[in-house]
Amino acid sequence: MREFSRPKVVISRCLEFDHCRYNGDMISSPVVVKLKKHVDFLPVCPEVEIGLGVPRNPVRIVLDKGDHRLVQPSSGKDVTEDMKSFCSNFLDSIYEVDGFILKFRSPSCGLKDVKVYPSAGSHGGAVEKISGYFGGAVLGRYPFHPVEDEGRLRNARIKEHFLTKLFTFAAFRKVKSEGSIKDLINFHAQNKFLLMAYNQAELQKLGEIAANREKRPWKDLISDYENHLYSALSRAPRYTSTINVLMHALGFFSDQLSSREKALFFDWVQKYREGRASVCPAINMIRSWIVRFEDGYLMSQTFFEPYPEDLIEINPVESHLREDLWK
């Protein structure tokens, strides 16, 4: 059982923390409920923070002479500058954040698909869709961090990628704060299989950085490693890369397994390849062999448990062939 660093996550306060939606509602999110056990959350509601209150008349993003403005149609109040100031001041004030979970399609917190209207009083359709003010500021300030909305986290593959990045970055933050070459080498060694699945080119670069043959100062070394770690985890791994890692792990036990055991493993891998099963059965077979043969090196690999096990949910198989859904 792995020990996990507690990620620090900024979250929209209306998501399981407070009845602060414009109509006084609080949004339910099973993912957030489960994460509360493992994560240190910093809840925030930008609209309340700029004085709009609860309940409140809704705000919307409108076009005004080619500019986007955040207005409250019922009162005609323009709160654009207040919101921009809040976003800047808040993001300047937070320290060592690992990720964000924000409200879906909110004019303040939305990350994408936020409607822009032709005018404050328009009853017609949206003319375009963009990020909300706070959501856009977060994406601009933290382009490589795990940032998602509660809507997209309903997708199992998006959630898996988000959680993997979140707990990996939290573990790296601890290494960075302790300032030890030994800790960096251990971190890299434990994440080797995970990085192999995500990006083999970046894995090689990260290995060279961690080796530090040029005896670079810690500050330069850790900054370089951090940038390449962000790049390595920027996109979820393809299913073919995951299969390659599974086959690599199998090689550690191949001579010790019966033909029937290997056949069963290959069968689960093929079902995963064809989108007829999740990757879990194949991973669990590898994990059982790790325990059986007491392989300490593989036992330390985060690939086999990238985040706490109780965050894994049993979902219907989602075909990896539909990768466009979770990019």
pLDDT above 70 for 289: yes
The pLDDT, as a whole number, for residue 49 is 98
Residue of higher predicted confidence among 319 and 251: 251
Q: What is the rounded average pLDDT for all residues in the chain?
A: 93
16-32 mean pLDDT: 97
Pick the closest to residue 26 from 36, 34, 18 (CA basis): 18
Backbone angles phi, psi at 54, to 5 degrees: -140, 130
pLDDT tens across 265-286, in order?
A: 999 999 999 999 999 999 999 9
Residue 194 has pLDDT above 60, yes or no: yes
pTM above 0.85, yes or no: yes
Q: What is the side-by-side strand order in the sheet with 60-64?
A: 77-78, 67-72, 60-64, 114-117, 128-130
159-179 burial, b at 16+ Cβ within 10 Å, e below that, comes to: bbbbbbbbbbbbbbbebbeee
Residue type, 125: G
Asked whether the predicted pLDDT for residue 322 surpasses 50, the reply is no
Pairing of β 67-72 and β 60-64: antiparallel
CA distances from 21 to 1, 29, 77, 87, 251 (A): 39, 14, 18, 18, 53
Q: What is the pLDDT of residue 2?
A: 84
Looking at residue 177, its pLDDT comes to: 93
Instruction: Please write down the long-range contacts of 279-286, taking CB distance under 8 Å and 24 or more positions apart.
Output: 279/239, 279/242, 279/246, 280/312, 282/246, 283/246, 285/261, 286/246, 286/249, 286/250
Task: Encode pLDDT of 122-158 as tens digits.
Answer: 777 889 999 999 999 999 999 999 999 999 999 999 9
